[in-house]
Structure 1
Amino acid sequence: MDRLAAEDMLLFVNAAITATGQREFRGDAAGQRLSLDFLHEYMAVNYRDLYAAALALDVNDHNAALIALRLLTTAGDASDGQRRVEGRLIAARLRALPPQRVYRLFRDLRRARVNNRRTRALIRDWLAARPDSALDAVKYRAGVKVALRHAHLAPARDELGPFLFAPFSRPRYATPLLETWRRAHYEKAAVYELPYTVAEGFAARHRIGRTAFLERIAPRLTRLERLRLQGAARRDGVDAVVADLGGMPLTRLAGYVLSLPVADRAARRAELTSALRAAARRACGPDAGRWGRVAAVLDDSFSASGSAQKRRRPLAVALACHHLLEALAGEYVALWTSGRTDALLVRPYGMTPLGDRVLDALEHEPQRLVVVSDGWDNAPPGLAAEVLRVWRTRLDPDRRVSAVHLNPVYDADAFTARRLAPEVPTVGVRRAEDVPALVRFARLAEGTTGLAELRAHLAGRVDRLLEER
């Protein structure tokens, strides 16, 4: 039974890292949501302690919110001790979530009519910890109203009540941002003093041209907004929106690089390569250069193009992993499935000859073998699994070489990230920045781990999360 529990937990964690309820290259959104809903229900009913502890792991924001929602809606099934631990875990994880995701969770709790004392306390404490209640009231107006009503709370500032529920009942506001929002209904100049996401709606209301709007709002854009808007701004002839690539998260930066035309990437080679390598060094931290000889097999086949909702996401993860592994390794060789050698110019194309590339990687006699792929080996089908089986059972039965398969894609039919071979652990990956932790977690997924070791790992992560709080 312990072995079964460990396997179930590992399967769930892989799903919670990769699945987002959106369409994948080979699967639709409805199937993924149905598959995820089953997994969450199964884990919450059978392994509630382990299910709650998953909040301390690298599960993505979508699944973290689903776990919090299910724990709160099924509070009656938990003991007093479980509820206390769950409350602390949920509170700690909520602070790490984007605010719009948290406000969506509060809306879902209201729809589910979950309004017990613990839920109200969580909402109260989260709102009280927000750094700028006026900014939240302007950017997430509907969400703040739902949260206050559901938890029966008074607004943090005297002016927020009238602003949220009767915004034009006052001729002016003392809080500068609230007053700017009021003036923006009548003055075009006030639009450019608001956050971009709010100002965009007012620009449409005042029929301000896109080019003029982007030029004047540029100083107020956040770093991520600049990154997202830079391509569109250039097409509109706006040079004021320039993305600052320094300090950008590695995987997000890789996605931005892949969004550029190949010609632009080639023209900006020095700038983009330097930014990617700097982001990789920040991500690997003290582990830089300590992984010895690393061989990576990286999937840039056509399926790496992802879907309309997750455009080029699998390829972005592979590109980010490439730069991270390069920074972690003492010696490094990268083998793309397409045969390309220029990582900056990769694009999703062709079949997936994983078996051939794994053979090529093993010829380099690495200390670590890392495969980043969706697991669909089709040129020829099954060759990678057979290569890895023979290698593990005949050539390296003592496991002198560490091997792991990182899969950025959720397979709804398998309820987890698709595996390459039973002999090599597969772990889901959402961000390349999580790879060092995921590789350590892969040891728990190799099929030899018992529940006690898994519980010890989870307990350590839980303690770390609660200490950070």
Structure 2
Amino acid sequence: MNTSETLADLVAAEDVLLFVNAAITATGQREFRSDAVGQQLSLDFLHAYVLVNYRRVYASSLALDINDHNAARIVLGLLETAGEAGAEERRTEGRLIAARLALLPPQRVYRLFGEVRRAGINNRRTRAIMRDWLAARPDLGHDAVKYRGGVKTAARHIHLRCPEGAGPLAEVGAFLFRPGRLPRYEHRLLDAWRRAHYEQGAVAELPFTVAEGFAARHGMKREVFLKRAAPRMTRLERLRTHSVTQRPEIDLTAMPLTRLALYVLSLPFEQRAARRTELTGALRTAARRAAGGHAGSWGRVHAVLDDSFSSSGSGQKRRRPLAVALAGHHLLEVLAAPGAYRGLWTSGRGDALLVRPWGPTPLGMRVLDALEPGPGGAAPDRLVIVSDGWDNAPAGLAGEVLRVWRKRLDPGRRTAVVHVNPVYDADGFDVRRLAPGVPTAGIRDAEDLPALVEIARFAEGRTGAAALHAYLDRRVALFLGEKETVS
């Protein structure tokens, strides 16, 4: 740490890390140990605090691997308080907002635009951002059918000109604001929506979420409807409907790693065992894709993976912590050198495919096991702990083990230790930590693990505020495509 840095600099760095961890993990939904109201109040405070005190950092967070919920909240906060920023700040914020909106799912962006309208944010800059995003949409007619209320709200707010007559924009305007005026539409989906009111065959031409309502209206059998709608389903829609019927088929090899882990955990043990080769192969393929150029670069890696009862999550985040651990297990195996990975589950199970949330959290005992030398008598180069941090069998043992290890047995830090936590602790305004000297980072998707390990090193207290801000600046430059500014 740079000795020239003041106490205020260190506090600022801690505040930044606190917010980043929350923005990665928290979604305002119920967790295993806290309800939704507590989560929302805690998150509200953090957003307000960082926006007022560290506006530059607040905006820079859009370039990090934060979740969509917090990205939308940051955009709304920046637009709502634009008058408090200087001209240069507004230009940078505008670019960050535009770049982040391009990555967000369209339904979330339309929901955000609705919040912008309800908040009365109607300045020229905001309307320009909304207008540019709408203009970049590949098919506004498709959006008008699938997200009709959102498109209508956005069009009204920016005073989108939808002239009468011919042309795509004219048809969208007629569809949104003058329904029934045109006898037919040139746009395929707009006309399919019109015909679906009285023609059952047109239902299958519509986006799945819209078609569901028409199918129920026509009294179509669910299985027949799903079979007809299969070609137009998105990957997530296929996943959601797979439990209802074996159709449509799912391409597991194309699924993101954490999403695939959630799917695997949703299957009964019998199906997991029967499909072991298929499921394990898909998880390893997704892990190799997520590792990218980092594969095999982490040396000897030992991992402690939490499959205690609390990893079951909540009704809103069902099995999410366990899915992150399962996905992390396969990713760490790829990141480690060939044959140099060892994964230890808190339950003591040795079969990752059949894990389930069960029992207490003996993190301390598993950390002791993980610090044991591997083949050849060598200590691990990295110890990664994936857990919500509630070490309770016995309580506090993991933190004490790590403290003694670092102070007495490994003062030279030959083994890098990092704790990634998928659960936001509303009472502590952060993810729960195991020990003061152990860097901890929040995590939502296991795919972000390599980047989060880099963030976690700032939480260790050995790197100062200047280095943290330089890191944020590099991430912003990369996010905005300014690669030449990155050293």
Fold agreement, TM-score > 0.5: yes
Tell whether 2:442 aligns with 1:425.
no
What is the percent sequence identity of the aligned residues?
Answer: 70
Q: Which residue of 2 aligns with 1:157?
A: 169
- 1:22–1:309 Cα contact (<8 Å) kept: yes
The runs of 5 or more residues in structure 1 that have no matched partner are: 234-238
Q: What is the CA deviation profile of residues 189-221 of structure 1, one whole-angstrom value per residue up to 9, with x for unaligned ones?
A: 100111111100111111212122112212222
Q: Which residue of 2 aligns with 1:241?
A: 248
Q: Which residue of 2 aligns with 1:102?
A: 109
Offset at residue 166 of structure 1 (A): 2.0
RMSD of Structure 2 on Structure 1 (CA): 1.1
Give 3-state SS (helix, strand or coil) of 1:157's partner: helix
Tell whether 2:218 aligns with 1:206.
yes
Structure 1 Cα separation of the partners of residues 161 and 40 of structure 2: 36
Q: Which residue of 2 aligns with 1:124?
A: 131
Q: 1:263-302, aligned counterparts within 5 Å?
A: 263-302=270-309
Tell whether 2:464 aligns with 1:455.
no
Q: What is the CA deviation profile of residues 385-422 of structure 1, one whole-angstrom value per residue up to 9, with x for unaligned ones?
A: 11011111111112111110000000000001100111
307-316 or 203-212: which moved more?
203-212
Q: 1:25-424, aligned counterparts within 5 Å?
A: 25-155=32-162, 157-233=169-245, 239-330=246-337, 331-364=340-373, 365-424=379-438
- 1:298–1:373 Cα contact (<8 Å) kept: yes
Instruction: Give the letter aligned to residue 408 of structure 1.
Output: P
Give 3-state SS (helix, strand or coil) of 1:159's partner: helix
Offset at residue 151 of structure 1 (A): 1.1
Give 3-state SS (helix, strand or coil) of 2:242's partner: helix
Instruction: Give the letter aligned to residue 328 of structure 1.
Output: L
Structure 2 Cα separation of the partners of residues 118 and 414 of structure 1: 37
Instruction: Give the letter aligned to residue 127 of structure 1.
Output: L
Give 3-state SS (helix, strand or coil) of 1:68's partner: helix
Instruction: Give the letter aligned to residue 113 of structure 2.
Output: F
Give 3-state SS (helix, strand or coil) of 2:250's partner: coil
Q: Which residue of 1 aligns with 2:5?
A: none
Structure 2 Cα separation of the partners of residues 429 and 231 of structure 1: 28
Structure 2 Cα separation of the partners of residues 289 and 82 of structure 1: 41
Structure 1 Cα separation of the partners of residues 218 and 243 of structure 2: 24
Aligned length, in residue pairs = 464
Q: What is the CA deviation profile of residues 105-154 of structure 1, one whole-angstrom value per residue up to 9, with x for unaligned ones?
A: 10001111001111001100000011111111111000000001111112
Distance change in 2, residues 1:211/1:468 (3 Å) = farther
Instruction: Give the letter aligned to residue 215 of structure 2.
Output: A
Q: What is the CA deviation profile of residues 92-113 of structure 1, one whole-angstrom value per residue up to 9, with x for unaligned ones?
A: 0000000011011100011110
Structure 2 Cα separation of the partners of residues 284 and 341 of structure 1: 23
Instruction: Give the letter aligned to residue 280 of structure 1.
Output: A
Structure 1 Cα separation of the partners of residues 265 and 450 of structure 2: 23
Q: What is the CA deviation profile of residues 365-388 of structure 1, one whole-angstrom value per residue up to 9, with x for unaligned ones?
A: 210000000000000010001101
Q: Which residue of 2 aligns with 1:236?
A: none
Give 3-state SS (helix, strand or coil) of 1:359's partner: helix
Instruction: Give the letter aligned to residue 429 of structure 1.
Output: I
Structure 1 Cα separation of the partners of residues 237 and 363 of structure 2: 37
- 1:227–1:244 Cα contact (<8 Å) kept: no
Using the size of structure 1 for normalisation, the TM-score is: 0.98
Using the size of structure 2 for normalisation, the TM-score is: 0.94
Give 3-state SS (helix, strand or coil) of 1:394's partner: helix
314-323 or 156-165: which moved more?
156-165
Give 3-state SS (helix, strand or coil) of 2:109's partner: helix
The runs of 5 or more residues in structure 2 that have no matched partner are: 1-7, 163-167, 374-378
Instruction: Give the letter aligned to residue 195 of structure 1.
Output: P
Instruction: Give the letter aligned to residue 193 of structure 2.
Output: W
363-372 or 224-233: which moved more?
224-233
Offset at residue 468 of structure 1 (A): 7.7
Q: What is the CA deviation profile of residues 261-316 of structure 1, one whole-angstrom value per residue up to 9, with x for unaligned ones?
A: 11100000000000000000000011111111000000000000000000000000
- 1:297–1:336 Cα contact (<8 Å) kept: yes
Structure 1 Cα separation of the partners of residues 462 and 224 of structure 2: 61
Structure 2 Cα separation of the partners of residues 321 and 86 of structure 1: 33
- 1:6–1:449 Cα contact (<8 Å) kept: no
Give 3-state SS (helix, strand or coil) of 1:246's partner: helix
